[in-house]
Amino acid sequence: MNSLFVRFSPHRKRYIQIRNLLGFWPGNIRLYERAFTHSSVAREIKEGVKDSNERLEFLGDAVLGAIVARFLFVKFPYRDEGFLTEMRSRIVNRTYLNKLAIKIGLDKLIQYDASHRLYKSICGDTFEALIGAIYLDKGYSFTEKVILERIIRFHVDLDELEQQELNFKSRLINFVQRNRQSIVYDAREEIGSDGPKRYHVTLFIDEKPVAEGIGFSKKAAEQAASEQAWTILNSDERP
């Protein structure tokens, strides 16, 4: 990247932010601008379709999953498929990606409406969108290198993850059943009918709404709602 070009570019600030964040100069800066733009502030490019990061998020989710799967396959040559699947889930789940995004400072670059109800998931969503942007801009091998050397190497503690119990849905169901309460997961709407489908699940305990979750599958949305409910039930915010 020509330093003179960056110096006089109208996107100079964004170029430098990405360089500081990930250690490389971006090529197609518009991909990264889109990756940082949440739908709550995105412009409409045609009726019902916004120039937001949702499509990049969908792509980044798939790319990140493949890269993490290969990394774990090589890292743990003698562990079975069940262990590898669980470890991948622990790395790419929404809560962990939110934490990673904040840890590397990605939260400071996101353009969003602060009053938007999806704020808790915005950091993780943007992390995936950024992976999608890097993939389209630089290719798979470059993206893999960035994730392994800039993210996993410095910010992912595999030993700690291995000790975690992550299946919040199973944990929550057991908790509720022990207390003789009812639990219902209501998938009451789909988001993004003109783009990738995302499911919105509301979790009810004893017919009272306790938590909500969003994901590209009902299972992922249920897990997100379960985690939120588990946090609430084990805090001072209990309903």
Query: Where in the sequence numbering do the catalytic residues fall?
Result: 61, 128
Q: How far is 125 from 94, CA to CA, in rounded Å?
A: 8
Give 18-26 contacts, CB < 8 A, sequence gap 24+: 21/104, 21/105, 21/106, 21/109, 22/134, 22/146, 22/150, 23/146, 23/150, 24/138, 24/146, 25/1, 26/133, 26/137
The side-by-side arrangement of strands in the sheet containing 208-215 is 183-191, 198-205, 208-215
Alpha-carbon span 118 to 213, nearest angstrom: 9
How far is residue 20's CA from residue 144's CA, in Å, rounded to a whole number?
Answer: 18
Partner residues linked to 184 by β-bridges: 204
Distance from C-alpha of 36 to C-alpha of 104, rounded to nearest angstrom: 14
User: How far from each other are the two terminal CA atoms of the chain, in whole angstroms?
Assistant: 54
Cα angle 26-60-106, degrees, rounded to a multiple of 5: 60
